[in-house]
Amino acid sequence: MAHTKSPKPRLRPLELKDVEQVAAIYAHYVAGGVATFDEVAPDLEAWSGKAGRIVARGLPFLVAEDGDQVAGFAYASLWRSKSAYRHTVEVSVYVAPARLREGLGRMLLEGVVEGCRRAGMEQVIAVIADTGDPASEALHRSAGFAEVGRLSKVGFKHGRWIDTALMQLSLEPAER
């Protein structure tokens, strides 16, 4: 899919019209990679529900918009469902395959972290599949995340075992 590149993609909250493009970007990673451990891509209804739950909790769900195209997206979701974890979120960042290495991942990650800060979160977690490509870990390190652990063989996808790196960023919330 060709795109007309605007001077600079714009970061903004997800809108209903974006769900189809978000789902398509994510489906690429489900089918061909291990950035997600989903093995079946969620449908539009599932994405709409997920986005609604995230936004209802006051957490960020952002897209990088370039013209009328979604070039990437990022969101924060609860780390765990138990109430004691309510100040800890997990971030997810996905960039359209044709738009990698343009700085969109950094823009999205910084935007979602700032949204987490405004939402009063204390801790931000990233769970990164260890694929041998250091790009995602490097992106998170550049945003202040530190590796806090590794989990061995916790995912099995595309015929192979996959480890994950756990990275964490402590925030000073804007207000409580």
Q: Which pLDDT tens digit goes with each residue over 76-119?
A: 999 999 999 999 999 999 999 999 999 999 999 999 999 999 99
Please report which confidence band the pLDDT of residue 44 belongs to, taking 50, 70 and 90 as the band edges: very high
1 domain residue, yes or no: no
152 domain residue, yes or no: yes
Residue 127: give the domain boundaries.
Answer: 10-170
147 domain residue, yes or no: yes
pTM: 0.92
What CATH number is given to the structural domain containing 161? 3.40.630.30
3 domain residue, yes or no: no
163, β-bridge pairs? 130
147, β-bridge pairs? 167
If one counts the domains in the chain, the total is 1
**Matching residue, tokens 């469902």:** 81
175 domain residue, yes or no: no
